[in-house]
Amino acid sequence: MAATTFPAETPTLTAGVYTLRALEPGDATAVHTQVNDWNVIRMLSRLPFPYPRDLAERWIDSTIRQAHEGGAYHFAIVSPEGAVIGCIGITISRVDGVFRGALGYWIGREHWRRGIASLTAGRICRWAFANLPIEAVTATVAEDNLASVAVLSKLGFRKNNTGTQDFLARGGKVPVLIFQARREDFDSAGKKETTPSPTQTSEPAKPRRLVLVAAAAMIDASNRVLLARRPEGKTLAGLWEFPGGKMEAGESPETALVRELQEELGVDVSRACLAPFTFASHSYDAFDLLMPVYLCRQWQGEPEGREGQKLAWVAADDLARYPMPPADLPIIPFLRDLL
């Protein structure tokens, strides 16, 4: 399994009461009817106005091909009643060896001001960071598209550039704002601001937490190391890590690992099969992490991602190709030297 593997098809997701699914040929009428509206299409750079019906059909056909090729993932936004009320998608690009996703969406005008754009865009971004090998998501919006500017800001995107772009429906270049969100930006989106305002009384800073985590470098008969990809819904989703987890009160690192490997991977490990190897530490924004790391070459059972995480057996020389949390990165050179 390569670090740059893309899903072969568009998945079906849920966002609140809405369903996000792959577009189908039967969606062409709904797409054409709703996007062929000046108030909608004037904010979309690549679509002409009026918008031909057959163009909707050809575009839907292309979305299936793009997903199969790993170039883009387009979703129909489906209401609880089963109606297609908009579209949203991520288009993948690669520059200097780095993958990025570009977010785009539109909502039918009669469904505006219901929070649908924020809800579905947030869902797609979480899915993208957890399942695509991208380092950032960008979004380009017309300068006068105040609604989309508000949506992106709410989600944690940051404006990092300006420019102009051709908008077919408007017949020329339009000033645009370019936003970007990285994984760490998105993890922090929606968190309550803790910096006191000038009118508030500052309180003493709370002591930093120390979080203890035990991890295992599980090594198979071919000297490959097992990595697990953090699933959607967890902080740093989409990054690859060495299996393990937090130590509970009163647990030793070995006891915690035996428990975590059973819960997460479904494998039975004896304490005697865990050999102390090294440790890692990292200061995150809200806490300090200390992580003892053990070697493990023997276990019972076949590892499987019981919490929805993907797994990969990776040669030591290829570990650096897999994006990891900062705390896991220092372990790579030690494993290279060992293996």
Query: Has residue 204 got a pLDDT over 60?
Result: no
What is the model's pLDDT at position 202?
A: 46
Q: Report how far residue 28's alpha carbon sits from residue 242's, in angstroms, rounded to the nearest whole number.
A: 45
- For 229-250, how does the pLDDT look when each residue is reduced to its tens digit (9 = 90+)? 999 888 889 999 999 999 999 9
Closest CA to 87 of 175, 10, 143: 10
- For 296-316, how does the pLDDT look when each residue is reduced to its tens digit (9 = 90+)? 999 999 999 998 899 999 999
Query: Has residue 200 got a pLDDT over 80?
Result: no
What is the model's pLDDT at position 191?
A: 43
Query: Has residue 266 got a pLDDT over 50?
Result: yes
Average pLDDT over the chain reads 90
Q: Report how far residue 5's alpha carbon sits from residue 3's, in angstroms, rounded to the nearest whole number.
A: 6
- For 287-296, how does the pLDDT look when each residue is reduced to its tens digit (9 = 90+)? 899 999 999 9
In this structure, what DSSP letter does residue 270 have? Answer: -
- For 168-187, how does the pLDDT look when each residue is reduced to its tens digit (9 = 90+)? 999 999 999 999 999 887 77
- Report cis status (omega within 30 of 0) of the bond before 25: no
Q: Mark out the alpha helices in 132-181 (DSSP H runs).
A: 146-155
pLDDT-derived band at 329 (thresholds 50, 70, 90) equals very high
Mean pLDDT for the stretch of residues 105-115: 95
State the pTM of this model: 0.83
Domains in the chain, please, with CATH? 13-188 (3.40.630.30), 209-338 (3.90.79.10)
Tokens 């059972």: give the residue: 301
